[in-house]
């Protein structure tokens, strides 16, 4: 198999290429929609479609099983960021009930060469990530919501992604059984 050799040690690409390609995507969306809310929505949708496929790659690569609790999930999300973006965000700000946490990014490869112009103040530049997380989690029977609460690009000291567990999605039962 021609691609078997490259599987385990995933193809490394220059992160600048990725950063700039993503930048081109965002600026194209800005041109197409002219409305930051629509762009945010489109980015999330694209992310979702990426996430539902990316999870299979992640599971095949890491061989990880189901999560025992949400803390376990948080660690696996952290691993995934390391694998796919080469960064290790910090897991912080657990809610007392343990169903909510934050991922804090010191640096973010998506925003490396980015400055937001004034008319884009509502734009969630990295919103694709929230979609990826939602899509991937949905495939492992978890309904979550995630939202950027702090953003480097908007003058905050770091970027913070808040992730909230909503509910477990139950397995489908085949027709004719109860």
Partner 1 sequence: MAIHNLYIFDRNGSLLFYHEWNRLKQSGMSREEEAKLMYGMLFSIKSFVSKISPLDLKKGFLSYKTNKYALHYLETPTGLKFVLNTDIHASEVRELMKKIYSQVYVEYIVKNPVCRLDEPIKSELFKEKLDELIKQSSYYTAKIA
Point out which residues bind partner 1 (CB under 8 A): 1, 3-4, 7, 52-53, 55-57, 59-61, 63-66, 139-141, 171-174, 176-177
CA distance 87 to 83: 8
CA distance 133 to 129: 6
CA distance 92 to 61: 26
CA distance 170 to 138: 11
- Give the DSSP letter string of 4-50: HHHHSSPPP--HHHHHHHHHHHHHHHHHHH--HHHHHHHHHHHHHHH
Q: Which is nearer to partner 1, 115 or 177 (CB)?
A: 177
CA distances, 120 to each of 40, 53, 94, 115, 116 (Å):
11, 30, 31, 10, 6
Question: What minimum distance in Å lies between the beta carbon of 61 and partner 1?
Answer: 7
Q: Which is nearer to partner 1, 31 or 66 (CB)?
A: 66
Which alpha helices (H) appear in the chain, and where do they start and end?
Answer: 4-7, 15-33, 36-62, 70-85, 127-139
Structure tokens at 2: 């021609």
Q: Which is nearer to partner 1, 30 or 52 (CB)?
A: 52
Q: Which is nearer to partner 1, 76 or 162 (CB)?
A: 76
Question: What minimum distance in Å lies between the beta carbon of 139 and partner 1?
Answer: 4
Q: Which is nearer to partner 1, 63 or 96 (CB)?
A: 63
Question: What minimum distance in Å lies between the beta carbon of 145 and partner 1?
Answer: 20
Question: What minimum distance in Å lies between the beta carbon of 2 and partner 1?
Answer: 10
Question: What minimum distance in Å lies between the beta carbon of 35 and partner 1?
Answer: 27
């Amino acid at each position: 198999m021609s691609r078997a050799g490259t599987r385990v040690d995933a193809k490394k690409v220059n992160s600048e290429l990725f950063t700039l390609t993503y930048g081109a995507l965002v600026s194209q969306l800005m041109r197409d929609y002219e409305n930051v809310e629509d762009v945010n929505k489109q980015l999330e949708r694209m992310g979702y479609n990426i996430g539902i496929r990316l999870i299979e790659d992640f599971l095949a690569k890491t061989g990880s099983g189901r999560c025992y609790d949400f803390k376990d999930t948080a660690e696996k999300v952290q691993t995934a960021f390391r694998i796919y973006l080469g960064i290790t965000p910090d897991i912080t700000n657990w809610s007392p009930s343990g169903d909510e946490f934050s991922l804090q990014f010191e640096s973010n490869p998506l925003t490396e060469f980015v400055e937001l112009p004034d008319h884009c103040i509502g734009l969630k530049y990295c919103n694709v990530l929230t979609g990826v997380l939602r899509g991937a989690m949905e495939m492992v029977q978890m309904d979550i919501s995630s939202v950027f609460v702090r953003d480097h690009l908007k003058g905050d000291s770091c970027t913070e992604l808040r992730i909230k567990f909503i509910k477990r999605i139950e397995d489908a039962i085949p027709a004719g059984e109860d």
